[in-house]
Structure 1
Amino acid sequence: MHLIITDAWLAKSRAIYLSGTKLVLAGFVAALALMLVAAGLYHWVFLKGAREGWPVIGALVKLVVKDEFDQRDRFLRENLDMMARRVGEMQAKMMQLEALGERVSGLAGVNPNDIKATAGRGGALVAGPSLTMEELQATLADLDKLTDQRVDLMTVMESRLFDQKIRKMMVPTQEPVAGGNLGSPFGWRIDPMNGRSALHTGLDFPSEPGTGILAAAGGVVVTQEYHPAYGNMVEVDHGNELITRYAHASRVLVKKGDLVKRGQKIAEVGTTGRSTGPHLHFEVLVQGVFQDPQKFLTAGQKLPKPSLVAAAPPPRPAPALQQVRAN
């Protein structure tokens, strides 16, 4: 394309040659400039009309804003419904946890009625899609409070159960000789050495020399010595004034002050002291009074605590027979 530009008097002229590429580029630039001007003008007119409330533009603005609000409200409603379903599921799980807590509380020795009175029950009910944000926040706050209460209660019950477990582990229900046969029982008998009536204050377990002697329960070794009647002797304190005694050992594996576990090997069977043959003489004392060890061994894990198993003490031996208590 050729363009000839002249002045008003045709005195001067200038020729411009535009190729196809230059022509397209010039058209593009002109169109772009026109679009920018139109956009700027539209923006100015639209804002001015929206601010001053022009009839057509004001209605258009309201329509656009209403559509945006509808979309936002629909988005929030969908999220609220999803959160409401999740909260409902959480409430169902909390109810299951509450029922489980009531069952466990019985094992822990906690009254379920006290749990209901101190911790309350349930929370705000999520009724469906009509839930508002305020109701959802209130429900979440109730669930958070209820969760804290359940955590506190579970902590208390865990402590109670742990305490019960420790107490049971401190009750001498473990046989002191694995697979040992019972010899002389607890009670009055004819003494095998002098032939007179005497109180046998424990149980005898005849066994081969060197057989392991096991701690009947966990505790602390309070005595480890040689006694004229008991021979090599070990006493273990289990708390609550409950003591077990192991006599006639050939070898002792613990010393005074040692902590021993239930079933731990503490000595070996022998025939030291006042004894007619290799065996373990096993005694249980509650508040210094001899008890029948067989009651403890047969009770097993059914005994909740030592204070409940301290049965009425048997008759004390006569003064003349005090010296023949370890056979």
Structure 2
Amino acid sequence: DQTRVSQFRLTSRQVQGGIAAAVLVLVVLGSLSVGFFVRDSRDREADRLTKANVLLVEELEGIRREMTSLEASLDELSAKDERYRLLANLEPLDEDVKLAGVGGPGSRTVEEQDLWQVDPELGAMAFGAAEDLDALVRRARLLSTSWTEATRALEVQVDKWERTPSILPTSGYKSSDFSHNRLHPILNVRRPHEGIDIVARRGTPVVAAAKGRITYAGNTGGDYGYMVDIDHGHGVVTRYAHLAQGSVVVRRGQTVERWEKIAEVGTTGLVTSPSIHYEVLVNGRARDPDEYVLSDVLRF
């Protein structure tokens, strides 16, 4: 078979036109490809940001739940702080102070937050969470300061309680009350009775009515017989008389605690039967011990 060869003759203008058309096709195809990849990249970025926003919303909701729990805990602490301030004889915190708010000129607004510029709804949510968290932190600091104040005041108060003669020094029954004009059972004359008398079995333990320092321990050689004086501070002194000879187990300068044994019931001095004469002196003046006794079993 004979092969037929066809020949085409192109002019210079046709060649240039073909090249231009090819270049145009390549440019169009390139633009379409770039546009596709750009759109695809944008779609992927949009998906990523959408997922990130969903996660951020979930995180913010989780933080809000934690803050709700924290607020409930702070409410409990606030109630306890109120009771401690009451025990410490401190004024309760003012309600406005409890809010621990800031606000006022200079406070940032939600519109000033960068996130709000991008997503107002998400920005408002984040701003609200940040504001609430800041308020909780300020409230916690306020409670911490108040708690410290109440604790320190209570420490002083507890020391005062420990040194207040709030118990009877022995078990038995009261035979004579405090009086400014009592008929003496032995002398048969009227004179002040600056304490109370408690009748008990000989040898019954006599204990310190409160924490203090022994200022006298021995035999007076007079009406009171063997006697112990305890200085409790704050101008308060307690006196224990008619103690059994040889039963005093404390010495001058010694520190004793409430309920600590100091001696035993006896009959020394001017007394008709085994008993203890008990006095409370405040700044040198006798006071009725019954004004101080809260309970015969009270312990601090």
TM-score of the superposition, structure 1-length normalised? 0.67
Q: Which of 227, 250, 254 in structure 2 is aligned with 1:254?
A: 250
Q: Which of 86, 91, 109 in structure 2 is aligned with 1:106?
A: 86
Matched, 1:269 2:269: no
Matched, 1:198 2:191: yes
Give the match's secondary structure for 1:246.
Answer: strand
Matched, 1:173 2:153: no
- Partner of residue 80, structure 1: 60
In structure 2, the CA distance between the partners of 1:279 and 1:146, relative to structure 1 (3 Å rule), is same
- Check whether the contact 1:284–1:290 (CA below 8 A) recurs between aligned residues: yes
Q: How many pairs were matched up?
A: 246
Unaligned runs of 5+ in 2: 1-29, 104-120
- After TM superposition, give the deviation of residue 74 of structure 1 in Å: 1.5
- After TM superposition, give the deviation of residue 169 of structure 1 in Å: 2.8
Distance in 2 between the 1:110 and 1:63 partners? 64
Encode CA deviations 1:56-91: one digit per residue, 9 max, x unaligned.
Answer: 211111112211222222112211111122223322
Encode CA deviations 1:237-291: one digit per residue, 9 max, x unaligned.
Answer: 1111110000121111111122212122111111123333321111111111111
- Partner of residue 157, structure 1: 150
Matched, 1:278 2:274: yes
Distance in 2 between the 1:293 and 1:97 partners? 38
Distance in 2 between the 1:96 and 1:123 partners? 23
- After TM superposition, give the deviation of residue 130 of structure 1 in Å: 6.9
- Partner of residue 91, structure 1: 71
- Partner of residue 129, structure 2: 136
Distance in 1 between the 2:267 and 2:154 partners? 41
Encode CA deviations 1:264-321: one digit per residue, 9 max, x unaligned.
Answer: 2111111123333321111111111111222322x559xxxxxxxxxxxxxxxxxxxx
Distance in 2 between the 1:227 and 1:115 partners? 56
In structure 2, the CA distance between the partners of 1:107 and 1:194, relative to structure 1 (3 Å rule), is closer
Counterpart of 2:153 in structure 1: which amino acid?
A: R
- Check whether the contact 2:217–2:228 (CA below 8 A) recurs between aligned residues: yes
Give the match's secondary structure for 2:175.
Answer: coil
Matched, 1:288 2:281: no
- After TM superposition, give the deviation of residue 204 of structure 1 in Å: 1.4
Q: Which of 216, 227, 236 in structure 1 is aligned with 2:230?
A: 236
- After TM superposition, give the deviation of residue 103 of structure 1 in Å: 4.4
In structure 2, the CA distance between the partners of 1:103 and 1:290, relative to structure 1 (3 Å rule), is closer
Counterpart of 1:88 in structure 2: which amino acid?
A: T
Q: CA RMSD in A?
A: 2.9
Distance in 2 between the 1:117 and 1:260 partners? 46
Counterpart of 2:205 in structure 1: which amino acid?
A: G
The equivalences for 1:14-25 within 5 A come to none
In structure 2, the CA distance between the partners of 1:192 and 1:166, relative to structure 1 (3 Å rule), is same
In structure 2, the CA distance between the partners of 1:269 and 1:75, relative to structure 1 (3 Å rule), is same
Q: Which of 212, 221, 226 in structure 1 is aligned with 2:205?
A: 212
Distance in 1 between the 2:123 and 2:62 partners? 12
Counterpart of 1:85 in structure 2: which amino acid?
A: R
Distance in 1 between the 2:279 and 2:211 partners? 15
- Check whether the contact 2:212–2:255 (CA below 8 A) recurs between aligned residues: yes
Distance in 2 between the 1:185 and 1:95 partners? 49
Distance in 1 between the 2:173 and 2:154 partners? 34
- After TM superposition, give the deviation of residue 99 of structure 1 in Å: 4.1
- After TM superposition, give the deviation of residue 122 of structure 1 in Å: 6.7
Encode CA deviations 1:85-139: one digit per residue, 9 max, x unaligned.
Answer: 2223322432343344334433332222x44455544789xxx987543443343
- After TM superposition, give the deviation of residue 153 of structure 1 in Å: 0.6
Counterpart of 2:242 in structure 1: which amino acid?
A: H
In structure 2, the CA distance between the partners of 1:80 and 1:131, relative to structure 1 (3 Å rule), is farther
- Check whether the contact 1:91–1:123 (CA below 8 A) recurs between aligned residues: no
- Partner of residue 186, structure 1: 178
Unaligned runs of 5+ in 1: 1-48, 302-327
